[in-house]
Structure 1
Amino acid sequence: MDKHLSTQFDSELNGVSARVMELGGLVESQIRNAIYALSQFSDDVAAQVNDGEQRVNAMEVEIDRDLSSIIARRQPTARDLRLLIAISKTTANLERAGDEAHKIARMAQSIIKSGASRSLPTRDLNVAADLASGLLRKALDAFARLDTVAAVSILKEDDLIDQEFDGFVRKLITYMMEDPRTISASLDLLFVAKAIERIGDHAKNVAECIIYIVKGEDVRHATMAQVESAVQ
C-alpha cells in the first residue's frame, strides 16, 4: 500500500473508531438514565431511554456498513484486519449493552405501573450499576489507547460485579420471603440485576477485543494466568 493509500486508510480507521467512541458514550448515557429512572421511579426518563434505543441500533448498522466498505475496498491484512474485526465485535457488544439499558428501563416502567412500594431495594443496585458503567467507560478508554494492561485490569474487575449480583440476589430472596406481596416487582428487579451483570460482561468482551487487536491472541475462554501471559 503506497503512502497516499495508507494515509487514506488511517483516516478511515480513525473515523470509524471515533464513531465507536460516540456509540459508547451514547450507551453509557442510556445506562445512567435507565438506573436513574429505576431509582427515582421516573417513567419519563425510562421513556427517554426507550426512545434512545433506536439511535443505538442505527449507529451499530452505520458502523458495520462503514467497516464492510473499508474491508471491501482496502482488503486489509494482519493487524489492520484484526483491528477492523475487533471494532465490529466491540460495536456489537456496545449495542448489546444498550439493549440491557433498554431492558432496565422497561423493567422500571413495569415496576412503576404496578404501583410497587418505593421501599423496594432499587437503590441497592446502584453500586453494581456504577461498577458496570465504570467498567464500560474504562473499556472504551482502553480501546482508544489500545492499552492491554488496562484491558487485563478490566477482566479482573468484572468479578466485582458478579459478587454484587450474587449479594443482591440473596437480599432480594430475603425481601420476598418477608413480604410475598413484593414478589412480582422483586422479580423485575432480578431481571434488572442480571442486565447490569451483562453490561459488565460486555465491557469484559471489549477488553478481550483490545488484547486480540494488539497481541493477535483470542483470550475469550482463557484463564487469567493465560491472559496475563498473552499480553507480556
Structure 2
Amino acid sequence: MARTTLDTQLQTINEKINELGTLADTTLGQALEAIRTGDQSLSGLVIAADEPIEDLRTQIEQLTFTSLTLQQPLAGRDLRFLASTPSITAGLERTGDNAIGIAKLLVRMAPLRAEGLSSSQVSLSSLTANPNQEQKKPAVQPLSEASIVSEILDLGHEAQRVLQGTMRAFAGTNAPAARNIWQDDD
C-alpha cells in the first residue's frame, strides 16, 4: 500500500519530535554537567542550543498545522496525534529553555565563584529570618554550595529521567508506559 501524503507528514513530525526530545535531553544533560563542573564552555554550548530548539519547534508546528489544514485527517489516532503536537513541542522547548536558563545563571555566577563568595556557608534561617526579631538557634543545618548543588543535580537528574522515559514511551507509542510516568510524577 502506497504511503499517503498525510502518512509521510505524520512520520516526519514524529521524527522531528524525537529529534527535539533528544536535543532537549542533551541540553539538560549538558546544563547539569556544567552545574557539577562549573565548566563555562559547556554553559556556552547549552546557551547556543536556544536557536536550534526554537527552530525545530517552529518547523514541527508549521508542518502540523499544514497537515491539519490541507490533509484534514479524520477523527482518530492521526487527528489526536496532530492535536497533541503543539503541547508536546511546547513542553520539550520549555525543558530546553530551562536548561538554557540554568546555563545563563551559571555564567552570571562565575565571577562570584572566582571571588569565592558562593562557597561560604549560609544558614537557611538567616536567609528567611526577620532582622527585627530576636534570633534563636538555627533549626536547620547550615547550607553550603556543595549541598545546594547536590540537591539541584538530584532534581535535574530526576527531570532528565522523566524526560527520557517519556520520549521512550512516545517513540514506542506505549500509552501504558506514558501513563505510569505521569502517575509516578505525583
In the alignment, structure 1 residue 47 sits paired with structure 2 residue 74? no
* Bigger mean CA offset, 141-150 vs 96-105: 141-150
Letter aligned with residue 85 of structure 2:
I
* Cα distance in 1 between the residues matched to 2:175 and 2:98: 26
Query: 31, 36, 54: which is aligned to 1:34?
Result: 31
* Cα distance in 2 between the residues matched to 1:95 and 1:124: 24
Where does residue 105 of structure 2 map in the other structure? 107
Query: 80, 93, 118: which is aligned to 1:82?
Result: 80
* Cα distance in 1 between the residues matched to 2:41 and 2:185: 31
Query: 164, 167, 174: which is aligned to 1:137?
Result: 164
| Deviation, structure 1 residue 7 | 2.9
Give the SS at the match of 1:77. coil
TM-score scaled to structure 1, two decimals?
0.63
Give the 5 Å matches for 1:10-29. 10-29=7-26
| Deviation, structure 1 residue 146 | 2.1
Q: Which runs of 4+ in 1 moved over 3 A?
A: none
Give the number of equivalent residue pairs: 156
Give the SS at the match of 1:114. helix
| Deviation, structure 1 residue 65 | 1.0
* Cα distance in 1 between the residues matched to 2:179 and 2:63: 29
Give the 5 Å matches for 1:193-204. none
Give the 5 Å matches for 1:1-232. 4=2, 7-79=4-76, 80-115=78-113, 116-117=118-119, 120=145, 121=147, 122-159=149-186
* Bigger mean CA offset, 60-69 vs 143-152: 143-152
Structure 2 contact 166–181 (Cα < 8 Å) conserved: yes
* Cα distance in 1 between the residues matched to 2:173 and 2:155: 26
Structure 2 contact 35–153 (Cα < 8 Å) conserved: no
Structure 1 contact 17–87 (Cα < 8 Å) conserved: no
Structure 2 contact 50–97 (Cα < 8 Å) conserved: yes
* Cα distance in 2 between the residues matched to 1:31 and 1:25: 10
Structure 1 contact 9–74 (Cα < 8 Å) conserved: yes
Give the share of equivalent positions with the same residue, in percent.
26
CA RMSD of aligned residues (A): 1.7
* Cα distance in 2 between the residues matched to 1:32 and 1:52: 12
Structure 1 contact 27–56 (Cα < 8 Å) conserved: yes
Where does residue 140 of structure 2 map in the other structure? none
Q: Which runs of 5+ in 2 are unaligned?
A: 121-143
* Cα distance in 2 between the residues matched to 1:20 and 1:69: 16
Letter aligned with residue 185 of structure 2:
D
CA deviations over 1:111-131 (Å, ceiling 9, x no partner): 222222295131232222111
TM-score scaled to structure 2, two decimals?
0.78
